[in-house]
Structure 1
Amino acid sequence: MTKNGTQPWATAGDAGWTNIVAWTPNTGTYPGSSVVSDRLVVQGAKAAATVSAAAAFSGGSFARAHRIRLVDQTGAQIGTPGATVNADSGTCQVTATGVDLTGITSIGLQMTGTDNWCGTLANTGTALAIT
């Protein structure tokens, strides 16, 4: 799925992790894909899937920390959060391998930042995929 529109980057004042919202299914690359409640709907029950995501941002100040993580339909974290990116603009990435999709119905993306001035999440370069 790909991001539809921009979103202010979450900050520490947002009380931890914030859902990245407003997604569009990438039906050109992944036919039949769909999005429900800002999460990519899982198709099938693969026992060792790879879930990857990227979140591009710009307009930050003071090289604030940016980080993303994958979550299931209940908000439970999948794998380990991606590396922290300390920059005014850039792209955060996260990948979880060997994910057992049994019992997971949808997967979303969350973001966090360390302080104000983290900038804006971009629609171009922000995506999530299951392979």
Structure 2
Amino acid sequence: MTEKKLVVASSPHFRAHATVQTIMGDVLIALAPALAAALYFFGFKAFTVIAVCVLASVVSEAAWQKLMGHPQTIKDLSAVVTGLLLAFNLPPTVPLWLAAFGSIFAIIVVKHFFGGIGQNIVNPALAARAMLLASWPVAMTTWAV
């Protein structure tokens, strides 16, 4: 008898019982020190940018899925993570409408136009930052503590 020593299979090679929600929850826990630092160093301005980005991300995800007739997945926390990551990449003095616009762009254009979570070709938060920087360079690069 021959013994199998090498098994060739497609990925993932390691399987776990984690869900998207638990993974995103772990990411949020990992981002908690950065959140605390942002609030400590930049105060209420950082809080408002973070709140606007997260809220706009969650609302745009829910609205897009409702519009497309897809099941709601806002409970998986991926939109919250995207909003928080985008907020961490914006200056604290950015106009709030710009933060909201970036969040909507990240969720609808970068995430959902490519098929949703796991299907996007780039990180939605960083793609939104790049778009905002290219479109409004002065607002994205002029700020003070």
TM bracket (short chain): under 0.3
TM-score when normalising by structure 2: 0.22
> Larger strand proportion, structure 1 or 2?
1
Give the structure with the higher percent helix. 2
Tell me the TM-score normalized by structure 1: 0.24
Bigger CA radius of gyration: 2
